[in-house]
Amino acid sequence: MNLFDELDRCVMCGMCSQHCPTYQLTADENESPRGRIALIAALSTGQITTDATVQTHLEHCTGCRACEAYCPSGVHFGAIMDEARALLPSQPAPSTLSSQTTRWLRIYQRSGLQKITRASGLLKPLGLEQKENLLPHIPDTPNWQGYYPAVPDSKHCGDIALFTGCIANIFDREALDASRRLLNALGYGVHVPTTQGCCGAMARHSGRADEAAALAQQNLDAFSKLDIQAIVHTASGCTAHLSEYSQQLRDGQSFVSKVKDISQFLSGLKWPADLPIAPLHKTVALHTPCSLQNVLRQADAPRHLLQRIPELEIVPLAQNTRCCGGAGQYMLEQADFARQLREQTLDALDNISPTEKTRQKIDTLVTSNLGCALHLAAGLREREEAITVTHPVVLLVRQLKLNKLSHSKLTGY
Ligand code: SF4
Ligand code: SF4
């Protein structure tokens, strides 16, 4: 992408601003997409230099890309911001979880130390309370096999590859496992390439383009030799980034054409009649991540998938077109804005009225992006609300007699 061409495409009409969550919070033009484009244009031509104020306005952008979805001129705001971040002072490397760190965090949770630390009140004066509260339950993460064949008595439909990512491989493990089991039951063999890695979104969105391109190439190499119909993933933020690899890799088009959000792939299939789904007499709230809505353009896929569950009532959140603030590292680095956006999203949960259609108190919030799930679950813990955040595929697989998931308690994030 040529940054100047892309900036020129913007006619400064401002039609995007009303859809921008940071503009909605502040009513400050510098916190709007149009204002940010003006700042980036001035930065890239040397009219201004990067001072702390300019940097703050750019870093406040959640990357939700609502502006892009509503822009009549087709401005690729996400790509502009990725280029602009490379103009900012260098960013620290994103925090990735090593296996050793994960092990210690698991011990912290299971030894009871987490409960003691939280009860002690020590975290607040240390400024760690909010970050520690984001830590979800860390499940066991057994190694993946390279290939899982379709269940023997199913009609073999072909092969699929599962992208497991880095952080998703730990915190979204239940959704990944559920997806793999469901695909096998539907007649698909599932490859899980062991040489795949992080999608590279955090590096790309932090302005480290070379590192992001190297990670994209690693994944391209890991998947390119497989004879597969699709590459599916459970976290829509990472899936959105995978779907744009052709912006970074010249030969990425074949990979990109196969990338699908798991709900998108599953809801487009013809399901066998002998796969009974138990009714669920429940009302769940449905959150739609920005990445699913504004990048993958698959906002309806989770609802279509969940509609397979008899008796289930699905209530979309009123704030579904506005970012919840759980945008990757944003929830840590821009904690104040992230919290304000989350509160608005969770207020929408409170405002779901018990109409004739909703039969009971909502105890489940469904979302398709790991970052949103962790952020919203932390907010619900803080509010002491007994609402579990879960992935649509986990909810669906629990209603199928596939495995122990069907009978286990829904643990959520
Ligand atoms: S990004 Fe699009 S909608 Fe926003 S000001 Fe520019 S042209 Fe208008
Ligand atoms: S990506 Fe989202 S937060 Fe950033 S300018 Fe666009 S609408 Fe605003």
**CA 5 / ligand 1 centre spacing (Å):** 14
Where does the pLDDT of residue 407 fall: very low under 50, low under 70, confident under 90, or very high at 90 and above?
very low
Alpha carbons 235 and 229: distance in angstroms, whole number:
19
pLDDT tens digits for range 112-128: 666 666 766 666 666 66
Instruction: Look at residue 190 and tell me whether its pLDDT is greater than 90.
Output: yes
> What are φ and ψ of residue 240, in 5° steps?
-60, -40
pLDDT tens digits for range 177-189: 999 999 999 999 9
pLDDT tens digits for range 24-48: 999 999 999 999 999 999 999 999 9
Alpha carbons 397 and 90: distance in angstroms, whole number:
43
pLDDT tens digits for range 241-250: 999 999 889 8
Class of 147-267 per CATH? alpha beta
DSSP result, 190-225: EE--TT----SHHHHHTT-HHHHHHHHHHHHHHHHT
More confident residue, 332 or 139: 332
pLDDT of amino acid 115: 67
User: Taking all residues of the chain, what is their mean pLDDT, rounded to a whole number?
Assistant: 88
**CA 405 / ligand 2 centre spacing (Å):** 38
> What are φ and ψ of residue 400, in 5° steps?
-105, 150
pLDDT tens digits for range 207-240: 898 999 999 999 999 999 999 999 999 999 999 9
Check pocket membership of 62 for ligand 2, CB cut-off 6 A: yes
pLDDT of amino acid 79: 93
CATH of the structural domain 3-85, one choice from 1.10.260.40, 1.10.1060.10, 3.40.50.300, 1.10.10.10: 1.10.1060.10
3-state SS assignment for residue 357: coil
Alpha carbons 166 and 237: distance in angstroms, whole number:
13
Domain coordinates of the chain in residue numbers? 3-85, 99-133, 147-267, 283-406
Of all ligands present, the nearest one to the C-alpha of 23 is 2
Check pocket membership of 14 for ligand 1, CB cut-off 6 A: yes
Question: In the sheet that 313-316 helps form, which strands lie side by side, from edge to edge?
Answer: 313-316, 283-286, 364-366, 388-390
Number of H helices, E strands in the chain: 22, 9
DSSP state of 405: G
CATH of the structural domain 283-406, one choice from 1.10.3470, 3.30.70, 3.30.420, 3.40.50: 3.40.50
Q: Which of 16-25, 52-61, 129-138 has the lowest mean pLDDT?
A: 129-138
Where does the pLDDT of residue 168 fall: very low under 50, low under 70, confident under 90, or very high at 90 and above?
very high
> What are φ and ψ of residue 62, in 5° steps?
-80, -15
pTM of the model: 0.87
**CA 236 / ligand 1 centre spacing (Å):** 25
**CA 261 / ligand 1 centre spacing (Å):** 28
Pocket test for ligand 1, best of 16, 36, 294 (most atoms within 8 A of CB): 16
pLDDT of amino acid 335: 93
pLDDT of amino acid 102: 67
**CA 78 / ligand 1 centre spacing (Å):** 13
Nearest Cα to 391, choosing from 259, 234, 274? 234
Q: Angle 52-59/77-85 helices, nearest 10 degrees?
A: 140
Nearest Cα to 16, choosing from 82, 59, 77, 67? 67
DSSP result, 287-312: ---HIIIIIS--TTHHHHHHTTSTT-
Q: How is residue 140 written in tokens? A: 């066991």
Query: Can you point out the beta strands (E) in 241-281?
Result: 259-261
Where does the pLDDT of residue 305 fall: very low under 50, low under 70, confident under 90, or very high at 90 and above?
very high
The C-alpha angle with vertex 143 and arms to 141 and 148, in degrees rounded to 5, equals 115
Q: Which residues pair with 389 in a beta bridge?
A: 365
Amino acid at 359: R
DSSP state of 96: -
The C-alpha angle with vertex 249 and arms to 246 and 250, in degrees rounded to 5, equals 85
Nearest Cα to 16, choosing from 33, 40, 1? 33
Check pocket membership of 325 for ligand 2, CB cut-off 6 A: no
Q: How is residue 363 written in tokens? A: 């105890």
pLDDT of amino acid 110: 65
Pocket test for ligand 2, best of 7, 16, 17, 20 (most atoms within 8 A of CB): 20
Helix or strand (DSSP H, E) at 113: helix 113-120
**Same CATH topology for 147-267 and 283-406?**
yes
